[in-house]
């Protein structure tokens, strides 16, 4: 009996943690620059699990049954930054921005996003700095993009003639969404089919949650020595809403 009482408390804590990360929120880490400038390499953020309802991917390791519908399901909004399981490899978790919803026609023309035949407005927003794999940074043009419905968000754009800057119109099928990275020239997203190493159209079932807040950020790529370690905390990004 004494052993069972001793075991009950940690078991209860573990159960509460599983329930919390399944139904309420879950932390994630950003290892790449595909969502710059919105999310930077080294950001740790929280994703809310309940805005879109729940699927098997809301559970640890995707242990639930597969289904075309979500429990308490709700459609994401255009412009939401979402966490989802990769359609090509569900073991991989990705974060991108929702650009297209079921029935939308999505195209790219000379680097400009076109939704349902209308070119999405872009407003120059000065220069940003994109981070390279070695930790160095280089200047890049930053714009503010305004999606249908009024959602405005920043993007990085290096050129208008890159390999992802031209795409004929594709229709988002029922039960799917079209996702893109904000770092438009450095994101394998729904513009690239799964068979070519991209994301393709994402099933709603694969949604995990909506990114809501950066809780911490650390520029580990530039922490070259022990004396540099403390200085690489990006305090300005702590508790930064997404």
pLDDT digits (tens, 9 = 90+) for 77-114: 999 999 999 999 999 999 999 999 999 999 999 999 99
Q: Measuring CA to CA, how many Å separate 104 from each of 24, 40, 70, 175?
A: 30, 29, 21, 12
Backbone phi, psi, residue 201, to 5°: -70, 135
Length of the chain: 242
Task: Tell me what the mean pLDDT of segment 45-67 comes to.
Answer: 79
CATH number of domain containing 63: 2.10.109.10
Give residue 54's pLDDT: 84
Quick one: pLDDT at residue 59?
A: 73
Residue with tokens 């099928």: 173
Q: Note the helical H segments in the chain.
A: 2-23
Number of domains in the chain: 1
- Residue 34 is a catalytic residue: yes
pTM for the predicted model, two decimal places: 0.85
Q: Which position among 34, 58, 190, 217 bears the catalytic label?
A: 34
Check residues 136 and 175 and name the one with the higher pLDDT: 175
Q: Give yes or no: 5 in active site.
A: no
The one-character DSSP state at 125 is E
> 49, 55, 58, 96: which is the annotated catalytic residue?
96
Q: Domain span at residue 19?
A: 2-241
pLDDT the model gives residue 142: 97
């Amino acid at each position: 009996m004494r052993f069972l009482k001793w075991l009950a408390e940690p078991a209860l804590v573990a159960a509460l943690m599983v329930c919390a990360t399944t139904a309420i929120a879950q932390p994630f880490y950003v290892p790449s620059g595909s969502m710059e400038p919105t999310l930077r390499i080294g950001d740790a953020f929280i994703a809310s699990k309940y805005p879109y309802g729940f699927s098997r991917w809301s559970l640890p390791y995707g242990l639930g049954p597969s289904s075309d519908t979500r429990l308490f399901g709700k459609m994401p909004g255009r412009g939401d930054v979402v966490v989802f399981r990769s359609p090509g490899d569900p073991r991989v978790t990705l974060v991108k921005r929702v650009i297209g919803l079921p029935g939308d026609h999505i195209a790219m023309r000379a680097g400009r996003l076109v939704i349902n035949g209308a070119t999405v407005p872009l407003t120059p927003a000065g220069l940003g700095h994109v981070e390279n794999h070695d930790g160095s940074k280089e200047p890049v043009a930053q714009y503010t993009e305004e999606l249908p419905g009024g959602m405005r968000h920043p993007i990085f754009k290096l050129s208008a003639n890159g390999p992802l800057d031209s795409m004929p119109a594709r229709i988002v099928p029922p039960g799917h969404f079209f996702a893109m990275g904000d770092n438009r020239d450095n994101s394998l997203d729904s513009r690239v089919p799964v068979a070519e190493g991209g994301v393709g159209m994402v099933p709603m079932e694969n949604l995990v949650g909506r990114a809501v807040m950066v809780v911490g950020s650390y520029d580990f790529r530039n922490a070259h020595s022990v004396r540099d370690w403390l200085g690489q905390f990006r305090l300005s990004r702590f508790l930064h809403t997404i």
